[in-house]
Structure 1
Amino acid sequence: MQQSTMEMQQLAIDAGPQMLSVGTKNVFAAQPYKVGTQEFVGRNQEMRLITAAWLADRGSLPMSPLLIGEPGLGKNRLIYELAYRTGKDLYIFQGHEDVTAEDLACAVRFSDDANRKMDYVLSPLVTAMIRGGICFIDEIAKIRPRALALLVSVLDERRYIDSTLLGERVTAHPGFRFVAATNTADLEGNAMPEFLRSRMRPEIRIGYPPQEEINDIVAKRFPRLEEAIGELLDWFWELWDEKSKHLKSTTPPSPRDVIHVFSLAMSLADYARLGGNVESNDGVDPLIVGKSAVVVAKPMLAEAFHELFKTA
């Protein structure tokens, strides 16, 4: 099916990077993450602390929280919800071991424009600083201290960043807000330098949510299960209790773990409903199923559970 001219123009607008002026240079800006409107569950205290830390007036500066917790507990989802509630653009930088200081500020690439050889591309951090958005650095503890040193002037009263590549100093917009997250193991193993960690306050521990909250998350995530969700959740917790007793473990599951189990169980049910036929028909993607209700039998949930936790 052909797209209309308006749809194609909108795709071009959404996909194309936007230009900004920094000093004497025209540079490409990073694109914000488009936050969805999926209903958020729980984390009221954490939401309260981060929001309070970001409040500021002309005589004070916003704080820069650090979220610490195990994988799969919803650290990222919490930031997405904050961006949605505040209406601010969210710019995400993914931390890893090979990040350099200049990666946090600006990069260059070969230009598609015949009139110039290279393009400057701002990082999510610097774009957020210029536009007054939120910069979220995920897995910040994976970044080496030498690169993190560039953040010092961003997170104190100076609120600027110097880019050697640009040859410019970028001062943060008053609306700029910063937050970072790290997995507990990365923080302990890499020992984030104190010169940076002392500037990232408050430190907010993201713990395992209670069972009732996980049930609510799953019920809202999978409306196709309809009335069967309660019975399936009870069955999931029975399976989890058996696993915990076998391993002599008291660690609860993460919301991500539970979502994966139910996602696979639903996919197994859809596969069975299709009779295993996933051949394309009239150009329709066979791997995209509808939104109609799906019946997940207990054996399918058990299969998904044991498949995802078979190494545990």
Structure 2
Amino acid sequence: MNHNERTLKIDGVEIHLSRPDTTEPRWIGQTDLLKQILACWLVVSEKDLPLSPRIVGMPGIGKTTLAMAAALERKQPLYIFQCTSDTRPEDLLISPVLAESGKITYHASPLVSAMVTGGICILDEGNRMNEKSWASLAPLLDHRRYVESIIAGIQVRAHREFRSCVTMNSDESTFEIPDYILSRMQPTLKLDMPSFNDELAILKYHLPFVDDEFLNLTVEFLQRSHQFDLDFSPRDGLHILQYAVKRLRQDKSHPLAKDDYWREAVSKVLGEEALDLDELASRKRRALGGERMPMGLGDFFFSGDNPLHPDSDS
């Protein structure tokens, strides 16, 4: 491989590689999950192969950061591929690009770049990707550990040190991943909402310039939302604090500006309804049918006001 130009020849075809991600995140809290990812990537014998776990959880709680921190622990180059609903197999593997000379050049995705350099690839938000693209990864995720690029006409085998994982959001805006792919992405590691202390530490780490009053107010709000099973995340907390601090910086003279700007930040980031968590939680329960009375056998045959209903008072 030419390290200066980051090119590699495979079966006579020159491939231009992606550059690794150089971010160095810090993982805070839930250390067991970090250990579990690292365990998945261990190889305990010549016959053993690493696992490709899937990390699941709500958006904004740190799934990608967790995987990045695990890659940093292993001191391997990290590549991140952002999966989308219109990702094509060639996007996922090798894409043709028209060079200035008029010739076709082949550019490897972050995934293929990780494969050939012995790096780690995070397939971010994998359940936003369609089955056709997932199908192209089937041989990579089992004992074969290779991909076939139809575009470049080559087979690419994974370096022995190559590792991967997939992050998946627990929301409704996703595809159903076929079982033959899910069975290859094991185990499933579930990331929960952070505890009070962890959430406070996360916000402090990212926003060390924010005072404790703002921080505590935001963490208490987030923790209460977690109790109501609302989908507000540490990322939302960061945005609330960033906006509130910027608004406060504009006008320090108003004595009530702090509370006002914090409430304004909540409404702008999460919507006006977020200012009343009790009502928002109640509406969510109603939407999910949580406040309906349990049905008896008679409810299937008679309406509630029917005098023939077994539970009718008439």
TM-score (norm. length: structure 1)? 0.78
Unaligned runs of 5+ in 1: 1-13, 276-295
2 CA distance for matches of 1:266 and 1:176?
42
2 CA distance for matches of 1:35 and 1:148?
27
**Aligned residue in 1 for 2:178:** 193
- Assess, with a 3 A threshold, how the Cα gap between structure 1 residues 216 and 141 changes in structure 2: closer, same or farther: same
Aligned residues: 267
Give the C-alpha shift of residue 240 in structure 1: 5.6
Q: Deviations over 1:76-102 (max 9, x none)?
A: 111121122211111111111111222
| 2:67 alignment partner, SS class | helix
Give the C-alpha shift of residue 74 in structure 1: 0.4
Q: Which has the higher contact order (CA 8 A, sep 6+)?
A: 1
Superposition pairs for residues 89-108 of structure 1, below 5 Å? 89-108=77-96
Q: 2:249 aligned with 1:270, yes or no? A: yes
Superposition pairs for residues 45-64 of structure 1, below 5 Å? 45-56=32-43, 57-64=45-52
Letter in 1 for 2:141: L
Q: Deviations over 1:28-81 (max 9, x none)?
A: 101111113x43311211101110010013220000000111101100111121
**Aligned residue in 2 for 1:111:** 99
Alpha carbon RMSD of aligned pairs, Å? 2.6
Superposition pairs for residues 275-294 of structure 1, below 5 Å? none
Q: Would you say the 8 A contact 2:200–2:219 is kept in 1?
A: no
| 1:26 alignment partner, SS class | strand
Letter in 2 for 1:302: R
1 CA distance for matches of 2:139 and 2:229?
42
Give the C-alpha shift of residue 190 in structure 1: 2.4
- Assess, with a 3 A threshold, how the Cα gap between structure 1 residues 215 and 22 changes in structure 2: closer, same or farther: same
**Aligned residue in 1 for 2:10:** 22
Q: Would you say the 8 A contact 2:222–2:237 is kept in 1?
A: no
Q: 2:105 aligned with 1:144, yes or no? A: no
Report the identity percentage.
28
Q: Would you say the 8 A contact 1:53–1:64 is kept in 2?
A: yes
Rg larger in 1 or in 2? 2
Q: Which has the higher helix share?
A: 1
**Aligned residue in 1 for 2:187:** 202
Q: 2:293 aligned with 1:307, yes or no? A: no
Letter in 2 for 1:211: F
2 CA distance for matches of 1:17 and 1:260?
38
**Aligned residue in 2 for 1:284:** none
1 CA distance for matches of 2:268 and 2:34?
34
Unaligned runs of 5+ in 2: 274-314
2 CA distance for matches of 1:186 and 1:23?
42
1 CA distance for matches of 2:197 and 2:72?
24
Letter in 2 for 1:205: K
